[in-house]
Amino acid sequence: MSNHTHDSQKEVKVEDLLRMKRSERPDEAFWGQFDQELHQRMLQTLVKKDPVHLQIWRTLSGRFTQSVGVACAAAFLALMVVRPAFIGTGSTSVSVAQDSVVFAEAPLVEVAMSEMDVSSLEATRDYSLEGISAEIESNDASFTRDFGMEGFQLAMDADYSSDAASSRPSFGSTGVATTLVY
């Protein structure tokens, strides 16, 4: 009796109310429909196509890979076939300047050396640089000392700058200047 009285006076707690929600359950008919829908959705998932953005990305990435491959092949062909022909024709001014220097230097070295062996004054008159010509005139025997770093630097400053292509033929034609470069 005392227990009954005690129980009836027992307070209702939050936990008691929340536990009542445990009995809030759907019936069997609900679960039948649930299983059917779930199986259908799982089958759809198995055969479902990828989302549109993934399809687009896959297509673009495939085409990009192909185009990159084609571009690489084209670039390789251009390097192998077109460039040799291009060098042969020498159609641009830069290549002309470079080639003229390359082709002009080899024979001019020989000329210059032969002139040095002779060590005539005629050769020194051709110099436009006073410092070099003065030393050559004063001391012909120390030829190697005359073409030291000072003279080399002077020649470089005066005529062999990158944008002085027009002056190269005149300077190169002296022969000695080519030797200075070397």
Partner 1 sequence: MHNKCFYFVTIMATSESVTKTIFPAQEAEVSQRDLDWAVVQKVQSGNVGAYDQLVQKYREQIFSVVYNMTSNREDASDLTQETFIKAFQAIARFKGKSSFFTWVYRIAINTTMTFLKKRSRRRFISYENIDEEVSNSEIFERLTAKNQTEKGALINELQEKLNDALQKLSLKHRTVVILHEIEGLEHAEIAEITKTSVGTVRSRLHYAKQQLQGYLKDYLG
- Given the rule CB under 8 A, which residues bind partner 1? 7-8, 10-27, 30-31, 34-35, 37-38, 41-42, 45
Whole-number minimum distance, CB 81 to partner 1, in Å? 52
CA dihedral 117, 177, 157, 147 (to 10 degrees): -10
For residue 12, how far is the Cα from the chain centroid?
77
The distance of closest approach from Cβ of residue 55 to partner 1 in the complex, given in angstroms and rounded to an integer, is 19
- At residue 151, φ and ψ (nearest 5 deg) are -65, -35
**Minimal distance, residue 26 CB to partner 1, in Å:** 6
Pick between residue 36 and residue 161 the one whose CB is nearest to partner 1: 36
- Residue 165 DSSP symbol: G
Closest distance of CB 54 from partner 1, Å: 15
Q: Let me know if 155 is exposed, middle or buried by CB neighbors in 10 A (0-12, 13-18, 19+).
A: buried
CB atoms within 10 A of CB 101: 16
Q: Which is nearer to partner 1, 25 or 53 (by Cβ)?
A: 25
Question: In the complex with partner 1, which residue's Cβ is closer, 38 or 72?
Answer: 38
**Nearer of residues 14 and 80 to partner 1, judged by Cβ:** 14
Distance in angstroms (rounded) separating the CA atoms of residues 119 and 113 = 9
Cβ of 132: how many Cβ atoms within 10 Å? 21
Shortest reach from residue 42's CB to partner 1, in Å: 6
Comparing CB distances to partner 1, the nearer of 22 and 53 is: 22
